[in-house]
Amino acid sequence: MEESWKVHRKRHHSVKQYCCSQCCKSFSSQSVLCHHMNIHTSKYRCTACGKCCQNSSALAVHRRSHSGEKPFECTVCSKRFTRSSNLVTHSRIHSGDKPYKCHTCDKAFSQSEHLNSHMRVHTGDKPYKCSLCNKSFSQSSTLKEHKRHVHSNRRPYQCPFCGMMFKTNIAVKQHVRIHTDTKPHSCRHCSDRFMWYGQLKRHLLESHNEGTWLVCNICQKKFISSGNLQKHLLRHKCVKPYVCSECPKCFFTAGELTSHQLVHSDVKRFGCILCDKSFKRKQGVLKHFKRCASKLSDSDMLPIC
């Protein structure tokens, strides 16, 4: 078992010097490259998309992607799959089976891909690099999230109460709590409830001494999350990894970059409900609203409560 694990790790960490002349994929050994070349010379070719498969059974499985056929059904939730291997992987959700174990920290996973991704925590490997700011990430999903939050101004999700636009559906759901006064996070020790998980975590630390403060080893400032501590440490190192795509300015955090990028945009997303003025930043409309409401009150246009 230990030997097979070492062989498996070599696939991810060894130099891939053997390159396929057909598709430019690289491999760690000549034998693996020869096995791969069978795909390009195979007689089992899909008539729908032209893809070559190694044998007839592989071609039959591939054709299901075009026909939509899913012959393998989960006996627990009735979800269907095109491959039996996908059904086996899915069934671990119901059984709780996690056969892929990390040999460094004993964490276990239901899929080999999840283990491979986890191993980068120990190796420090960050193979996914942002093409816009050259920042590296250990997971492709984290890179996609980074590009959406930092480099994209697309906001397809709208708040049904105030019309404010957001980049993700999760961000909208969290924002709506402000309008509905929803407080989903409750303290297990008292009756206090909180809108945000960070508020609950701080409450547990300050009021019930539950949890551990994360302390900066330079200035002794306390934080409730490792993410906030890491952002804070960048200020001591004077590292500004977030670069504006429109000008040479750099920033410590993604939030600071997003706020700055409004300088280069003509979009004014925040409008005053008392007049027709609009603003780029939320702080701007809040300050204006107080002045606008005060003027209307002085002219007896608004009732004073």
220 CB-contact burial (10 Å; exposed 0-12 / middle 13-18 / buried 19+): exposed
Pairing verdict, β 242-243 and 136-137: unpaired
Buried residues in 147-173 as b, exposed as e (16+ CB within 10 A):
eeebbeeeeebebeeeebebbeeebbe
Write down the CATH number for the domain with range 1-60.
Answer: 3.30.160
DSSP state of 73: E
pLDDT, tens digit, 9 for 90 and up, residues 262-302: 888 887 777 777 788 888 777 787 788 778 877 766 655 44
Mean pLDDT of 27-34: 77
Quick one: pLDDT at residue 303?
A: 47
Q: How far apart are CA 192 and CA 35, in angstroms?
A: 62
Quick one: pLDDT at residue 276?
A: 80
Q: Which residue has the higher pLDDT, 35 or 264?
A: 264
Mean pLDDT of 77-90: 88
Q: How far is CA 287 from the centre of its chain?
A: 33
At residue 222 the predicted structure's pLDDT band, cuts being 50, 70 and 90, is: very high
Mean pLDDT of 139-163: 82
How many residues are there in the chain? Answer: 305
Do the Cβ atoms of 205 and 213 come closer than 8 Å? yes
Quick one: pLDDT at residue 1?
A: 46
Quick one: pLDDT at residue 262?
A: 81
Tokens (6 digits) for 254: 């993604």
Do the Cβ atoms of 77 and 94 come closer than 8 Å? yes
Quick one: pLDDT at residue 232?
A: 87
Do the Cβ atoms of 292 and 275 come closer than 8 Å? yes
Q: What's the mean pLDDT when you consider all of the chain?
A: 82
pLDDT, tens digit, 9 for 90 and up, residues 158-185: 888 888 888 888 889 998 998 898 999 9
Quick one: pLDDT at residue 302?
A: 45
Quick one: pLDDT at residue 278?
A: 83
